[in-house]
Structure 1
Amino acid sequence: MTSQRHAPGGDRAVLSRRSLITAMGAGALAASSGRALAQAPAQPPSTVTNPPRDFSPRGAPTTYFTDPDVITVDPLFNQYAQPNSAITRLWTGTLWAEGPAWNAQGRYLVWSDIPNNRQMRWLEDDGRVSVFRMPSNNSNGNSFDFQGRQLSCEHLTRRVVRYELDGSITVLADSFEGKRLNSPNDVVAHPDGSYWFTDPPYGGQLYEGAPDVQGGPSNAGGRLNPKLGQPVGIGTVRRELPTNCYRVDPSGRVDLVVTEDQVPDPNGLCFSPDYKRLYVASTGKGPGDTGPGGKGDIHVFDVGTDNRLSNRRLFSDCMIDGVKCGPDGLRCDVDGNLWASSNAGRAVGYNGVTVWTPEGKLIGRIRLPEVCGNICFGGPKRNRLFMAASQSLYAVYVNTQGAGPG
């Protein structure tokens, strides 16, 4: 049965019983949604207080020529901030995002989801994200060398590996002077064919790898069973080495290049564009540390022609406005500026990226709504900064290019 009425102006409007019920239901749903929204718990504070910001592709426009979360601290940064480029959250869904690296030939980004024991891949052409490698042995830092081969630091197996172009795997380092590594964290390639990597202890915990055997530094009480849920052979070793940095020579020899006394708990590292400097981030005290641990700062060394490091000095204490912006991953641009991920914890507005001149002067910041673990330059022109931040992957275009591959 359909009832009819004449609308003003003579137009006939037909209202069926089903339409009426649908309209009434929609109104009830809207009212119900309003009540639900009114009762929803408070959301975490945004990095932009006015207006609140949605970083997702569905979010409202936020960029009016310049992104409000790309902050110029010194006018020098204006030449590197790309006008009309917005920070975008490309994907979310990791437990702890780390180790972004750009594959120029494949035009994709790979990064680690450490607790989920997998590597993810973002395709540049359509933005598709898929699982790239699982299991990944709780990989952390990734990079690509000058031949386009992927390098990965594995927490679970305590080693650094290289994925060859034919798909096979080469173990670059898993020990030093007969002792097992702790949990390699980040790795970079040098033009001479060597690889440099850091070896802090962060993989010696349940969430990101496997603790030591009973009595080991990260399992001193022996209450943890490091074999649970692991393949055969995992959970049978203990920490044996200090937290050092190493160089893998093209011959395969592993050399100690930075000691724990020089930079405790080393994390991210990168070379300057001319490879005459090595930057090393020192993070906080790790599982099993018996010393004071890192202080959340960045150190720099001069690199000699013989690959020996000298003239160690503090590059930055990473204190900004009285807030400790703990560094993790590091990358240099072609002008030698150092871009560092920032972990400021609950200091909302200081998580993200800090940008420093070669002299150690802070010139810019990028604010993210999550703690940022690591970064890299990518895109076809290598002018897009990718940021692996806690559960998400972010990106923003910049007016410079990254130095070095990956």
Structure 2
Amino acid sequence: MTKQEAREGEDDNTLSRRLFITAMGAGAVAAGSGAAWAQAPSPAGPPSTVTNPPRDFGPGGAPTTYFTDPDILSVDPLFNQYAQPNSAIVRLWTGALWAEGPAWNGQGRYLVWSDIPNNRQMRWIEDDGHVSTFRMPSNNSNGNSFDFQGRQLSCEHLTRRVVRYENDGAVTVLADSFDGKRLNSPNDVVPHPDGSYWFTDPPYGGQLYEGAPDVQGGPSNAGGRLNPRLGQAVGIGNARRELPTNCYRIDPSRRVDLVVTENQVPDPNGLCFSPDYRRLYVASTGKGPGDTGPGGKGDVHVFDVGTDNKLSNGRLFTDCMVDGVKCAPDGLRCDVDGNLWCSSNAGRAVGYSGVTVWTPDAKLIGRIRLPEVCGNICFGGPKRNRLFMAASQSLYAVYVNTQGAAPG
């Protein structure tokens, strides 16, 4: 063999190794191993959000190669019936500043969600996975949903209101005040079969990043050093927080009724009904801008819903502690069996952000681990059996073996 032939053989061997490594994914090689490729040890366990190097969730990442996704955890065997075998968590898109409020449009077969700081709503279309800006500006919208007539509902931080996008393209303001006072910053909204809409009103939009601070002297701008009008349209930046952090019901007549007080659930965030609409779940998140009290504690509360739409028997559903880690809830959705799926914000506790799943008796049965803090979730897809997760800068999805209980 000539020297030239030897060099060509070495080049071919190197190229083959590179192609093989690319196909298998970097996670197949033991980190820092000096052993030859043929002797590289296999992974000690399934790849997960806590492996080194971290798993690539994107469409170009290595396949999980396992029967069930290693980041879908059955805490209790009950969850096995809801985890779809051979379905992997996929990052569909990334590029947001803070992704929130996913909602599925069944007729259009698309998902809409909010990118709050970028003041826009995004849309993912199912047929080809195309993502585009759906609505900009969005008035720093947060939670979205679709009602039983297919109309989009949005909670707007900047304008401190709840709106409905009609089927002809018009916009209807459903609520912007209560008892003669401006709302704080509506966060999440859900429809009821009787034609009413229920929403939460914490203060999170009263900050520069996700809306506009109060005027000088308001709770979120007590010192008056911030100028809430900078970068805003005429008329924006002249409001101040006037109400406690409550939950409300918008009657079909457009009357706004108080249903849950701040004393019952401070800093309410996500909310959803049980499949039979006899329960209302409300997440209480952390302390918001301008709060003078202790604020939310990162837990979920539940109320019984009477035939007169009055709530009773309010109680703590779960403190969202998992393995000693606070998995603070945000968005909530129920499946058809009444299980509660909660987005999880565990901060820097890697492996605990994502989704937690609880039975109607508040038993933790499953978890979905994401590499980013999860803000909100919804069930979608044509069969409503795909869980969409808006998590920090990205949108994730995974098929599950159940369906969402409600539209949107």
* TM-score where L is the length of structure 1: 0.89
- The answer as to 2:275 corresponding to 1:273 is yes
The Cα of 1:46 is off from its aligned counterpart by 6.2
- Partner of 1:395: helix, strand, or coil? strand
**For residue 217 of structure 1, what is the aligned residue in structure 2?**
219
Q: One-letter code of the match for 2:236? A: I
How many Å separate the matches in 2 of 1:241 and 1:280? 18
Contact 1:46 1:348 in 2 (8 A): no
Contact 2:48 2:70 in 1 (8 A): no
Contact 1:63 1:85 in 2 (8 A): no
Gaps of 5+ in 2: 19-46
**For residue 20 of structure 1, what is the aligned residue in structure 2?**
none
**For residue 75 of structure 1, what is the aligned residue in structure 2?**
77
- Partner of 2:397: helix, strand, or coil? strand
Residues 270-306 of structure 1 show CA distances to partners (whole Å, capped at 9, x for unaligned) of: 0000000000000000000011100000000000000
* TM-score where L is the length of structure 2: 0.89
Gaps of 5+ in 1: 9-14, 16-22, 31-44
How many Å separate the matches in 1 of 2:52 and 2:285? 33
How many Å separate the matches in 2 of 1:110 and 1:48? 30
How many Å separate the matches in 2 of 1:388 and 1:144? 17
**For residue 402 of structure 2, what is the aligned residue in structure 1?**
400
**For residue 155 of structure 1, what is the aligned residue in structure 2?**
157
How many Å separate the matches in 1 of 2:52 and 2:398? 21
The Cα of 1:211 is off from its aligned counterpart by 0.1
Residues 147-181 of structure 1 show CA distances to partners (whole Å, capped at 9, x for unaligned) of: 00000000000000000000000000000010000
**For residue 125 of structure 1, what is the aligned residue in structure 2?**
127
How many Å separate the matches in 2 of 1:387 and 1:67? 16
Report the count of equivalent residues: 372
How many Å separate the matches in 2 of 1:137 and 1:163? 14
- The answer as to 2:266 corresponding to 1:259 is no
How many Å separate the matches in 2 of 1:300 and 1:156? 29
**For residue 19 of structure 1, what is the aligned residue in structure 2?**
none
Which is higher, the Rg of structure 1 or of structure 2?
1
**For residue 11 of structure 1, what is the aligned residue in structure 2?**
none
**For residue 237 of structure 1, what is the aligned residue in structure 2?**
239
Residues 17-51 of structure 1 show CA distances to partners (whole Å, capped at 9, x for unaligned) of: xxxxxx9xx99xx9xxxxxxxxxxxxxx9614266
- Partner of 1:76: helix, strand, or coil? helix
How many Å separate the matches in 2 of 1:137 and 1:72? 39
- The answer as to 2:296 corresponding to 1:297 is no
Q: One-letter code of the match for 2:174? A: L
Contact 2:343 2:354 in 1 (8 A): yes
> Any runs of at least 4 consecutive aligned residues in structure 1 with deviations exceeding 2 A, and if so which?
none
How many Å separate the matches in 2 of 1:290 and 1:200? 13
How many Å separate the matches in 2 of 1:82 and 1:174? 41
Match of 2:106 among 104, 107, 111: 104
Q: Kindly report the root-mean-square deviation, in angstroms, between the aligned alpha carbons of the 2 structures.
A: 2.0
The Cα of 1:246 is off from its aligned counterpart by 0.1
**For residue 26 of structure 2, what is the aligned residue in structure 1?**
none
Residues 83-141 of structure 1 show CA distances to partners (whole Å, capped at 9, x for unaligned) of: 00000000000000000000000000000000000000000000000000000000000
Identity %: 88
**For residue 347 of structure 2, what is the aligned residue in structure 1?**
345
- Partner of 2:79: helix, strand, or coil? helix
- The answer as to 2:179 corresponding to 1:177 is yes
- The answer as to 2:376 corresponding to 1:380 is no
How many Å separate the matches in 2 of 1:271 and 1:52? 36
- Partner of 1:78: helix, strand, or coil? helix
How many Å separate the matches in 2 of 1:322 and 1:77? 21
The Cα of 1:52 is off from its aligned counterpart by 3.3
